[in-house]
Amino acid sequence: MTLNCLTHTITKVKQMTVQKARVTQVPLGSESLEGLMLPDGSFAISASQVAAYFQFDSNQSSRTLKSLLGAGFQFDKVASEIHPKKVNVIDLLTLEKLIIELAFRGNEKAQWLGRTLVGLSLTQLFSDAFGVKFNTEERERYVKFREAHKKSYHPNLTKWLQIDGCEGIEYGKQCNIFKACCGLPLKSINTYTEEEMDLMNKKEVEYNVMRKLGLTHPEALERL
């Protein structure tokens, strides 16, 4: 084999063995966020994946991210399963900053994701500190219960309290009375266990049904 032929063969083999970032769906309750695992085992997300989840123009995804992340920000470029060409990616630390920035700008998905991740992270840290097992399945249930609460809280409870004229301090007082009538602790729902969160969701549905049947707020509370 000639030197030129050998060089060509080595180059071809290298090209064939270039590792690409893997793509998968990261569960977020009933939703999922598509992300990447890089060849070195670290995690990232491409500009197009960010645009798809947070619902802004995919054709302007890189430009939008640069604007949000400020002057001096530069993308990393990696080969991936997404596209034949290398794609612009950000690491998870940058994604956290992006979520905060989008949440400040009113992006509802970012606001929900930020609240969920904070609660999940604190639960994980406290579980670790007290030696409590908190596995993948439990984390997924944690997100699902909180997502269900987000979707049901306003239509099943808040709207009725608003109809009753509850505002400000009185609104908070009635929410605590509701929790007490359900046998739930008077603390932030972000600190609720899965069982407590599930009970809260079920009781909100029951309360809504009773109000639709014509029961007053006190009457509905008596039957929870």
User: Are residues 38 and 98 part of one domain?
Assistant: yes
User: Are residues 57 and 139 part of one domain?
Assistant: no
User: Are residues 109 and 142 part of one domain?
Assistant: no
Instruction: Please report whether residue 124 resides in a domain.
Output: no
> Band of the pLDDT at 207, cuts 50, 70, 90?
very high
| pLDDT tens digits, 143-154 | 777 777 777 788
User: Are residues 103 and 143 part of one domain?
Assistant: no
User: Are residues 160 and 103 part of one domain?
Assistant: no
User: Are residues 109 and 28 part of one domain?
Assistant: yes
Task: Tell me: pLDDT of 218 over 50.
Answer: yes
User: Are residues 152 and 88 part of one domain?
Assistant: no
Domain boundary among 79, 113, 147: 113
> Band of the pLDDT at 181, cuts 50, 70, 90?
very high
Instruction: Please report whether residue 96 resides in a domain.
Output: yes
CATH code of residue 62: 3.10.260
Grouping H, G, I as helix, E, B as strand and the rest as coil, residue 98 is helix
pTM for this entry: 0.58
- pLDDT confidence of residue 138: 76
User: Are residues 152 and 103 part of one domain?
Assistant: no
Mean pLDDT of the residues in the chain? 82
Task: Tell me: pLDDT of 194 over 90.
Answer: no
Instruction: Please report whether residue 211 resides in a domain.
Output: yes
Instruction: Please report whether residue 58 resides in a domain.
Output: yes
User: Are residues 147 and 101 part of one domain?
Assistant: no
Instruction: Please report whether residue 61 resides in a domain.
Output: yes
- pLDDT confidence of residue 30: 66
Its domain, for residue 169, covers 135-222
Residues 175-192 have a mean pLDDT of: 86
Sequence-distant (≥ 6) Cβ neighbours of residue 143 within 8 angstroms = 27, 28, 29, 116, 120
> Band of the pLDDT at 180, cuts 50, 70, 90?
very high
CB 147 within 8 A of CB 116: yes
Give the number of domains in the chain.
2
User: Are residues 211 and 141 part of one domain?
Assistant: yes
User: Are residues 36 and 82 part of one domain?
Assistant: yes
Cα 111 to Cα 109: distance, rounded to the nearest angstrom:
5
User: Are residues 106 and 144 part of one domain?
Assistant: no
| pLDDT tens digits, 122-140 | 777 677 777 777 777 777 7
* Residue 207 main-chain phi, psi, to 5 deg: -60, -45
Cα 149 to Cα 159: distance, rounded to the nearest angstrom:
14
Residues 196-203 have a mean pLDDT of: 88
Task: Tell me: pLDDT of 4 over 60.
Answer: no
Helix (H) or strand (E) holding 142: helix 136-153
| pLDDT tens digits, 6-47 | 455 445 444 445 588 889 888 776 678 898 988 888 888 999
- pLDDT confidence of residue 16: 45
Instruction: Please report whether residue 205 resides in a domain.
Output: yes
Domain boundary among 82, 113, 144: 113
| pLDDT tens digits, 75-109 | 999 988 888 889 999 988 899 889 999 999 999 88
Cα 96 to Cα 7: distance, rounded to the nearest angstrom:
44
Task: Tell me: pLDDT of 215 over 60.
Answer: yes
What percent of the chain has pLDDT above 70? Answer: 91
Instruction: Please report whether residue 107 resides in a domain.
Output: yes
Instruction: Please report whether residue 120 resides in a domain.
Output: no
